[in-house]
């Protein structure tokens, strides 16, 4: 049996979910990878805000571009969790 999911590119909603502590299944169409995205503040000696598995959004990235712009750059789609 196949299960079909509807994906979203509502990046403000994605940021809101991550900031609330959800771990969200995300797809980067640019890199053709899937990962569990989460808010994380420190890993491997570096400060960053969001861990997408296949890429990270670092504090200094958010000084150059918005969360939404970075998600657009990586062509991120995500599965909205059940409400």
- Compute mean pLDDT per 10 residues along the chain, 83 residues long, and list them: 85 93 88 84 66 79 89 91 69
Is position 2 within any domain? no
Q: Is residue 44 part of a domain?
A: yes
pTM here? 0.81
In a domain, 37, yes or no: yes
pLDDT at site 24: 93
Domain, as residue range, for 58: 7-79
Q: Count how many domains the chain has.
A: 1
Can you give the pLDDT at residue 47? 63
Q: Is residue 1 part of a domain?
A: no
Cα-based distances in Å from 39 to 1, 2, 3, 5, 6: 32, 30, 27, 23, 22
Using DSSP's 3-state secondary structure scheme, residue 55 falls into coil
């Amino acid at each position: 049996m196949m299960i079909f999911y509807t994906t979203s590119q509502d990046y403000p909603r994605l940021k809101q979910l991550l900031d609330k502590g959800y771990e969200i299944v995300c797809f980067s169409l640019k890199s053709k990878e899937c990962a569990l995205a989460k808010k994380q503040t420190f890993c491997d000696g570096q400060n960053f805000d969001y861990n997408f598995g296949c890429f990270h959004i670092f504090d200094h990235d958010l000084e150059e571009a918005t969360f939404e712009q970075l998600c657009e750059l990586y062509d991120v789609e995500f599965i909205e969790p059940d409400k």
